[in-house]
């Protein structure tokens, strides 16, 4: 966001070869403090998710009759055995939040992976084939874009029934049009270039042209959209969970936890506050990284 | 301009047909038989089942069913709600003003704060103020609004007791619905205090629903302003010795607002998504809450009709925005 007006100092050793693209990307990315902070947060939460069993003090689904709605440790009545308090049936909040991280990250990555895979395929076909195929695909995407995102997800869940997997599919459908459009636009921009003609003349088939010539050159906008897509996916899946259409209790998915906590909003602020705070932090982190990537990858902003 | 309008209108038709497809197939894609699904776990005896299949026309070929569905649509018949037996169209018409009232309040809130914040951030670029505005708007953009609503209730309704927790107006008031917009209806009626009650109920939902648009508008205004401020005509205006307020307010803002207007149009879909969540949290009797309840009751006619109507509303608003944009900015007419 804070655009750099100063050029980076020239590299210490003047070399004839430009820096490796990844190194250059990292150099531009690292200039953005917010983006690096976001990345650090994502890495931290990822570690928590991977080692959830080791880090979490309790089983996330273990109920404790002796400890209903215990406040966090710093409040009167709190104790170190439940650092962030317990919920209405005595489950440890901290453990549930840690295990929830696993779910949310998995949701974000899986949904975006699915949407990208299908989106790239449809976009490549649409951009290459043109004609009726293109029109059909793009009109279908327009319809998906016309409906408000959550409403569309609700339609999909209404057809498939509530549940985590179906909610993930629904969110993937919501994200799909963006990737199709991006890929198609990039394909149309690239397919007339000389290097593509050269590859075609030297006998490359359509599939090869699509996948190994054109696709790598459309990667930048797709990468940016992917990191922003993860935050949308996590947010929308949590919203579906909150509405009772996503992950079902007793799953420690953060949105589902919030739905459970709603009725205790008057008595126990912590059961409401922490799950939402986690969602906000993770979504914010992915948005920061997305912004940072866009600034680093967009040649127009590099100047 | 006519040519542009006609082309743009032509694009609407396939989308509209597509949405009717989606609404039509929604009920038929549900695994199992729609009648069994509606009957639920109680089950249904075979004779009644066959009779219902005939009544609803499920025994006829799909294309005939679709034809019948379209014909009914064109007559304004969206079917009846299973839960209330009321026509879906009239239920929608009763609830829709509540959603509109909330959405308009939210977008006004977003504009009144977002545009000034964006301007200030652009003028004081890279200052603490700019970073603050951008930081807050990024947080707003990332906000899970269903949680945000609960937090605000926790703070303002529970701790401070300033605002009511849910609903549109306190129960002691009865206001004759004239327009369906409570702020107007309460002014028309002679109930004392009803307007204040309606307004107090509107505050928190407005903030919750307006948060994401506010963040988007602030960011958009800032970047549009920054772009415009770098233009030659701004330098000319400054060189002429115009006071800074005039340069910003008259020369820069006018041009910066063009992309902002487009973004506002695009927020309509976002507002509907937000309305579903906001209405659920605050028990706001609008179409969002209605749809969510329809899902849990498996009231498919309501879902079908609701999706179609909301799709049409969003599409019309987008169309209107595009046409207005074409009217304001002649360049856009000749693209395509």
Task: List, for residues A249-297, the tens digit of each pLDDT value.
Answer: 888 899 999 998 888 877 888 888 999 999 999 999 999 998 888 888 8
pLDDT digits (tens, 9 = 90+) for A106-152: 999 999 999 999 999 999 999 888 889 998 999 889 888 888 888 88
Contacts A–B by Cβ distance under 8 A? 133
In whole angstroms, what is the distance from residue A226 CA to residue B196 CA?
46
pTM across the whole model: 0.85
* Residue B145 tokens, joined: 């609004």
Query: Considering the domain boundaries, does residue A15 fall inside one?
Result: no
Q: What interhelical angle do B145-152 and A269-297 show, nearest 10?
A: 140
Domain count, chain A: 1
Q: What is the largest CA-CA distance in chain A?
A: 77
| Chain B contact probe: residue of A35, A107, A151, A256 with most B CBs at under 10 A | A151
Sort out which chain A residues have CB atoms less than 8 A from B142's CB and list them: 231, 235, 280, 283-284, 287
Range of the domain at A268: 33-55+72-302
pLDDT digits (tens, 9 = 90+) for A37-81: 999 999 999 999 889 888 888 888 887 777 777 888 787 777 787
Query: To which H or E segment does residue A112 belong?
Result: helix A93-129
* Residue B117 tokens, joined: 């914040």
* Residue A240 tokens, joined: 């579906």
Sort out which chain A residues have CB atoms less than 8 A from B272's CB and list them: 148, 150-151
Pick the closest to residue B94 from B110, B108, B81 (CA basis). Answer: B81
Query: Considering the domain boundaries, does residue A6 fall inside one?
Result: no
* Residue A149 tokens, joined: 């995102």
pLDDT of residue A107: 92
In whole angstroms, what is the distance from residue A280 CA to residue A98 CA?
15
CA-CA-CA-CA torsion sign (B196, B200, B201, B206): positive
Residue ranges in B75-193 assigned as alpha helix (H)? 88-123, 128-141, 145-152, 182-188
Sort out which chain B residues have CB atoms less than 8 A from A292's CB and list them: none
Query: Considering the domain boundaries, does residue A3 fall inside one?
Result: no
Nearest CB to A155 within list B31, B134, B307: B307
Query: CB B281: neighbour CB atoms within 10 A?
Result: 24
Query: What end-to-end distance do the CA atoms of chain A give, in Å?
Result: 15
**Is B80 in contact with B87 (CB distance < 8 Å)?**
yes
**Is B78 in contact with B89 (CB distance < 8 Å)?**
yes
* Residue B172 tokens, joined: 């002691």
Query: To which H or E segment does residue B281 belong?
Result: helix B253-282
Q: How would you write the pLDDT of chain B (336 residues) with one tens digit per residue?
A: 778 788 888 878 888 888 888 888 877 777 666 677 666 666 677 888 788 777 777 777 888 888 888 888 888 888 888 778 889 999 999 999 999 999 999 999 999 999 999 999 998 888 899 999 999 999 999 999 999 999 998 888 888 888 888 888 887 777 777 777 888 888 777 777 788 888 888 999 999 999 999 999 999 999 888 888 888 888 888 888 888 888 887 778 878 887 787 778 778 888 888 999 999 999 999 999 999 888 877 788 888 899 899 988 888 888 888 787 777 666 666 554
Query: Considering the domain boundaries, does residue A267 fall inside one?
Result: yes
pLDDT of residue A113: 95
Q: What percent of chain A has pLDDT over 70?
A: 93
Which residues does B57 contact at the CB level (< 8 Å), separation at least 6?
Answer: B64, B65, B68
Size of chain A in residues: 303
Query: Considering the domain boundaries, does residue A16 fall inside one?
Result: no
Give how far B264 is from chain A: nearest CA, Å: 14
| Chain B contact probe: residue of A34, A139, A154, A259 with most B CBs at under 10 A | A154
Work out the angle at residue A247's Cα, subtended by the Cα atoms of residues A245 and A249, and round it to the nearest 5 degrees. 105
In whole angstroms, what is the distance from residue A176 CA to residue A229 CA?
10
A75-92 residues labelled b (16+ CB within 10 A) or e (exposed):
eeebeeebebbbbeebbb
Nearest CB to B15 within list A142, A235, A287: A142
* Residue A191 tokens, joined: 């397919």
In whole angstroms, what is the distance from residue B31 CA to residue B45 CA?
19
pLDDT of residue A14: 57
pLDDT band for position A1 (cuts 50, 70, 90): very low
**Is A286 in contact with A42 (CB distance < 8 Å)?**
yes
* Residue B128 tokens, joined: 């603490």
- Asked if the interface predicted TM-score (ipTM) of this complex is over 0.90, the answer is no
In whole angstroms, what is the distance from residue B282 CA to residue A25 CA?
45
Query: Considering the domain boundaries, does residue A23 fall inside one?
Result: no
CATH (domain of A257): 1.10.3720.10
Which residues does A164 contact at the CB level (< 8 Å), separation at least 6?
Answer: A103, A107, A237, A246, A247, A248, A251, A253
In whole angstroms, what is the distance from residue B22 CA to residue A58 CA?
45
Query: Considering the domain boundaries, does residue A257 fall inside one?
Result: yes
Give how far B126 is from chain A: nearest CA, Å: 7
Provide the 8-state DSSP code for A70: P
Query: CB B62: neighbour CB atoms within 10 A?
Result: 11
Query: CB B244: neighbour CB atoms within 10 A?
Result: 10
**Is A288 in contact with B139 (CB distance < 8 Å)?**
no
Query: Considering the domain boundaries, does residue A63 fall inside one?
Result: no
* Residue B175 tokens, joined: 């206001």
CA-CA-CA-CA torsion sign (A180, A36, B144, B115): negative
């Amino acid at each position: 966001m804070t655009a750099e007006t100063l050029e980076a100092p020239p590299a210490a050793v003047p070399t004839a070869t430009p820096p490796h693209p990844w190194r250059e990307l990292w150099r531009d990315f690292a200039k953005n403090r917010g983006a690096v902070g976001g990345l650090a947060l994502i890495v931290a939460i990822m570690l928590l998710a991977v080692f959830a069993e080791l880090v979490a003090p309790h089983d996330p689904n273990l109920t404790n009759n002796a400890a209903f709605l215990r406040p966090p440790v710093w409040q009167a009545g709190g104790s170190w055995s439940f650092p962030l308090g317990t919920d209405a049936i005595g489950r440890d909040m901290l453990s549930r939040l840690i295990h929830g991280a696993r779910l949310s990250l998995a949701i974000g990555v899986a949904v975006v992976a699915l949407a990208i895979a299908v989106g790239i395929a449809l976009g490549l076909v649409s951009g290459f084939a043109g004609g009726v195929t293109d029109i059909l695909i793009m009109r279908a995407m327009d319809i998906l874009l016309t409906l408000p995102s959550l409403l569309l997800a609700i339609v999909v869940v209404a057809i498939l029934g509530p549940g985590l997997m179906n909610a993930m599919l629904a969110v993937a459908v919501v994200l799909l049009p963006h990737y199709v459009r991006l890929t198609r636009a990039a394909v149309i921009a690239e397919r007339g270039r000389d290097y593509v003609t050269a590859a075609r003349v030297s006998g490359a088939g359509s599939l090869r042209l699509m996948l190994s010539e054109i696709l790598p050159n459309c990667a930048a906008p797709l990468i940016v959209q992917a990191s922003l897509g993860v935050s949308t996916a996590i947010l929308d899946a949590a919203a579906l969970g909150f509405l009772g259409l996503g992950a079902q209790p007793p799953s420690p998915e953060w949105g589902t936890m919030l739905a459970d906590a709603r009725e205790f909003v008057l008595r126990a602020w912590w059961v409401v506050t922490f799950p939402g705070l986690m969602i906000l932090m993770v979504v914010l982190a992915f948005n920061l990284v997305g912004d940072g990537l866009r600034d680093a990858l967009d040649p127009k902003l590099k100047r | 301009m006519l040519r542009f309008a006609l082309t743009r209108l032509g694009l609407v038709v396939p989308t509209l047909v597509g949405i009717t497809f989606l609404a039509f197939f929604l009920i038929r894609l549900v695994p199992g038989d729609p009648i069994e699904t509606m009957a639920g776990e109680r089950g249904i005896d075979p004779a009644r089942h066959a009779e219902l299949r005939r009544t609803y026309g499920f025994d006829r070929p799909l294309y005939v069913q679709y034809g019948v569905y379209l014909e009914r649509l064109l007559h304004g018949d969206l079917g009846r709600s299973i839960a209330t037996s009321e026509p879906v169209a009239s239920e929608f018409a009763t609830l829709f003003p509540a959603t509109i009232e909330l959405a308009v309040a939210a977008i006004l809130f977003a504009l009144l704060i977002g545009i000034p914040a964006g301007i200030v951030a652009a003028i004081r670029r890279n200052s603490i103020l700019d970073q603050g505005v951008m930081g807050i708007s990024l947080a707003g953009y990332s906000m899970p609004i269903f949680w945000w609503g609960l937090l605000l209730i926790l703070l303002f309704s529970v701790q401070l007791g300033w605002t009511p927790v849910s609903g549109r107006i306190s129960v002691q008031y009865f206001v004759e619905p004239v327009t369906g917009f409570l702020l107007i209806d309460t002014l028309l009626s002679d109930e004392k205090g009803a307007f204040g009650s309606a307004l107090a109920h509107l505050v928190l939902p407005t903030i919750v629903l307006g948060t994401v648009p506010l963040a988007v508008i602030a960011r958009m205004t800032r970047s549009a302003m920054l772009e415009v401020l770098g233009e030659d005509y701004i330098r000319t205006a400054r060189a002429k010795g115009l006071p800074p307020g005039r340069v910003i307010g008259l020369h820069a803002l006018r041009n910066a607002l063009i992309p902002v207007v487009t973004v506002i149009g695009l927020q309509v879909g976002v507002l509907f998504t937000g309305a579903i969540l906001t209405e659920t949290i605050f028990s706001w009797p609008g179409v969002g809450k209605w749809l969510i309840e329809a899902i849990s009751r498996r009231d498919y006619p309501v879902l079908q009709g609701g999706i179609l109507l909301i799709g049409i509303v969003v599409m019309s608003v987008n169309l209107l925005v595009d046409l207005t944009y074409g009217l304001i900015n002649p360049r856009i007419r000749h693209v395509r």
